[in-house]
Structure 1
Amino acid sequence: MDDSSPTSGRLFNGSISTIAFYTPARHRKVMALTIVTLQFHYGGCFVSNPTLSDLDEELLQARQSNIQEQVKEKTARVNLDEIPSGPVGIDAGFEDINKEKRRRFEGNLGGDDPYFDSSDPGSDISEDEGDPVENDEVVDPAPRKESTKIYFDPTAKKVLFQLYMVFLNHIEFREALQTYSIQKGVNIKLKPNEKERIRAKCNKKGCPWHILGSIDGNTGNFSVKTYFPVHKCFKRTRNKLCTPIWISKHYKERIMSEPTIKLHQIQFLIQKQYGLYVSKTSCRKAKLRVMNEHMGDFREEFARLYDYAEQLKTTNPETTVSIRTSKNTIPGKEVFMSIYICLGSLKIGWKEGCRRIIGLDGAFLKSVCKGELLSCISKDGNNQMYPIAWAVVDKETKDTWS
């Protein structure tokens, strides 16, 4: 192929050739003929194409000068002779990072504190005690919002109900209904009377009073769901809900303080306070319940007096215990008469550290079991009372003192 042909080109012996390409036929609507001129760089110099215009020639020269400047800058930045060929440490290239650091940072950090380098003396954290640490600021918590729920007070003297009142459980609700019925003097009927739901209605025909308590599905509390407080009936003098259990619970303190109270006295107390009549049988059961539960079975306790005496002698040497009984009072039974106790430690203490003074005194016992308490006391070195011995007898006589 001829080298001077405009449609072909080849490169040999450092010469420059021009290559022309024709566009396909489908692109001829845009441009009939596109000639791309390529310049080949050989030996570090460029040869211009004589077919270029003056403007293209200027752009080409500017591009050539820009490329040459970039090559020179890259060569100046990288000095191949200074790059170490051996093993390189982790601080390679950062040897001068700490030079003149004080001059660069001092006065430019802000604030009034002087600049300290990490190697300067006094720059480390001191272990000496400084100013005391101030207490944390105490912020009062936000006050709790008052609950809108109404809770039943079992210690209240008078029972009152309200809609949505909350009870501890169904037992407390049932006891409140029982006390309400007695205080109000009306008879009520509980139906249904279950763990999850209790409905109470006035037993008088035509009276609209009723109340319903059940467990709340959301909170699990036992609360009043329905309540109609209007009564259209008259008070009654008899109430089936005034049971011996209720009497023993509400008159426990009176029975314990006066164990010899008569049954008719209990009847009178209930009638005076609530206007109700209760039978003597209910009062007797209530009194026995209080005596057995809160005061114990004294008959069983008297039967173990000998065991009590042996226990005192075992745990406290030189103790003197004397029990006197009678088999003639009740034929076939041993009846307690008196007991004398003098502990060994009290006996030794009186001999070694008390004045030679003895005082005698007696007091009446006002409990379930009647009798008298005889005591023998002295005075110690601090002029205080010092018990020596005591005895429980049926009555104070010369025989019991001796």
Structure 2
Amino acid sequence: MTKRERTAIERDEQSGSREMNNQREIMDETYLGNGKEGGDNDLWTEGQGDRDDLWAGENDEGMYESESDESEYSIGDGSESDFSDCRRIREEVRKEQKALDEELDEEIKKSLLKYKNKAEEFDSDSDYYGSYNSEDETDEDIAYAEPPKFKKQTKVNEVFNMNTAGKDIKWVPGLIFGDKSQIKATVRNFSIESGRPLRYLVDDKQRIQVACAKGCPFKMWISYIQIRDCWQIKTVNDVHNCIYHYSNKLVTVKYLVDVYGNKIRRNPSWKLKEMQEEFKKVLKVEVCEAKCCRVRQMALSGVQEEMKKHYAGLRKFAGEILRSNKNNTVKITTTRVNEEDAPHFQRFYVCYDQLKKAWKEGCRPIIGLDGCFLKTVCGGQLLSAVGRDGNNSMFPIAMAVVETESYASWSWFLHLLIEGLFQFFFLFIPIINIFLIILSKTDAHT
């Protein structure tokens, strides 16, 4: 391209830019309402038409073409080099615009993220302080410190010593327990003495998970090792941020019976208030009156069950009495409601040979008879025969436990007594009958 042609192209570009500026000024004045009176609409229509003609041929490469190829707004002479220059300029403008758009998008995203974080912090703070209600929470739900980071510990692979005090127990990975009962006893002792409200989240045949109050980071996993037939602590986070609790769900009725059962049996009339004070003073736990009542009932029911079991061994006791002295007298009678039922205890009589001989040789020929209630769970009556020795004191001769004090029971007891004391006992049968008649009339009168 020669210098003359380049000068002509620049002149055409300058003339084209001037025409474009004039058209824009006309359109701006028309849009802003700066035209003459009565001619605003005409100016806007004319300017809009010129602008449409001006920008009518915009194609994908950024060139502007009019409807005719010989438009006065065409740039250059239409050669291939002119088109390549225009494309290059258009590409550069597009790249610069794209870079500016990307920078703007980044700034907008950063600003939105910043405001979003501030909004989330505000929302979390408002939920924490605005929705808090102390009445909705219990002592088990309160934690006052941030949970510390968990530190991995090495396994010790040691067998736990059951004689360790609850306050001295250290939970470490690898600690071995013989069976499940040892684990639960150890967890209960630690919970009571340390005031930690431990609870079981998982409790089955293969694993146990122990946790503390809600919000406390303490967690412990214990698994069953089938090869060694034992239980071992796998993981533990032995850190607490909970407060001391006086209510403990691990303090069950059975546990209290095991600890205070003997004391309750020695004092069955122990008041519930005194029992509550004892539990709070010694165990540092609060127990309601209903639970104390169940503890007393279970402790006393154990005594009653033991007494019933004693009657099952009554025949062994009778056999031992006869084995020690064959001249002793022992009689046991039983009864059945139905023929296929097991025998139930009815009456028991015992008279020792040495007592019989001592009464005949050293006591006055007087026999006193009496009966009393047996205030036990099994009930019944105790019949006894006593004499008077040389010091005018009572001397036991024989005794019997019967179902009730009646004509039949007294008759059975007196016949056995006379038969054991006297050789010619049949001579005393009329006297026995007279006594029984008087006794029956006395009972009918009362």
TM-score band (shorter)?
0.3 to 0.5
Q: TM-score, normalised by structure 1?
A: 0.41
* Richer in helix (by share): 2
